[in-house]
């Protein structure tokens, strides 16, 4: 979080952008995202349903979750998606962009499938730790995630830049500035 705050302040200082720290929770969108994701998994892998046992555990589990959905659950998820989209729209009536850490945790060992505990909270599902990204995609908004700096262990920390519909040029401009202001280079063994 500190690394992302520094990147945001640098943007303000270089560009004269105004920064305001706000509370903007979309945590009530989690179940809607998971339902709509499950529905999409069924559609995207429909031709594989008869071979579901041959698929990896995560993919098969996602497809099974989608198959278990009721029409009422899908309808509730769509209603929640619309509600969340309207919250975003109201936010962007006041602000040009939202800057946030891409994830609530820093990089973890590649052997770890996902962090099971984040900020003292046990993750219920293997994608819960990436909530800041999937709650943006729930509203189908343009976003970019760029390296904002490095941890003490020289691992990258991402800054997520979210904008209103059709704001891709602005988002890419902010992303380019952030990358140029905070170049992380390549790890020592990759250069």
As given in the structure block, the two tokens for residue 21 are 């720290």
CATH ID of 2-17+26-181, from 3.40.462.40, 1.20.1050.10, 1.20.58.220, 3.90.1300.10: 3.90.1300.10
Least Cα distance to 163 among 113, 88, 103 occurs for: 88
pLDDT at res. 167: 98
The residue extents of the domains of the chain are 2-17+26-181
Mean pLDDT value across residues 155-163: 94
Q: Using one digit for the tens of pLDDT, what is the confidence trace for 97-115?
A: 999 999 988 888 889 988 9
CB contact set of 29 (below 8 Å; sequence gap of 6+): 80, 81, 84, 135, 138
Mean pLDDT value across residues 47-76: 96
Please give the model's pTM, rounded to 2 decimal places. Answer: 0.86
């Amino acid at each position: 979080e500190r690394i992302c705050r520094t990147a945001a302040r640098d943007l303000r200082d270089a560009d004269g952008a105004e920064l305001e720290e706000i509370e903007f929770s979309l945590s009530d969108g989690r179940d809607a995202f998971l339902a709509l994701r499950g529905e999409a998994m069924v559609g995207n892998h429909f031709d594989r349903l008869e071979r579901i046992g041959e698929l990896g555990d995560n993919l098969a589990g996602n497809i099974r979750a989608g198959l278990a959905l009721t029409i009422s659950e899908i309808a509730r998820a769509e209603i929640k998606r619309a509600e969340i989209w309207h919250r975003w729209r109201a936010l962007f009536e006041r602000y040009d962009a939202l800057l946030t850490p891409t994830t609530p945790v820093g990089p973890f060992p590649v052997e770890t499938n996902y962090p099971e505990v984040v900020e003292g909270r046990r993750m219920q599902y293997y994608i819960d730790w990436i909530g800041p990204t999937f709650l943006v995609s729930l509203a189908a908004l343009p976003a970019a995630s760029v390296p904002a700096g490095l941890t003490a262990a020289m691992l990258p920390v991402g800054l997520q830049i979210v904008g209103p519909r059709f704001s891709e040029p602005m988002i890419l401009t902010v992303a380019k500035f952030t990358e140029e202001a905070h170049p992380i280079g390549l790890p020592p063994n990759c250069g």
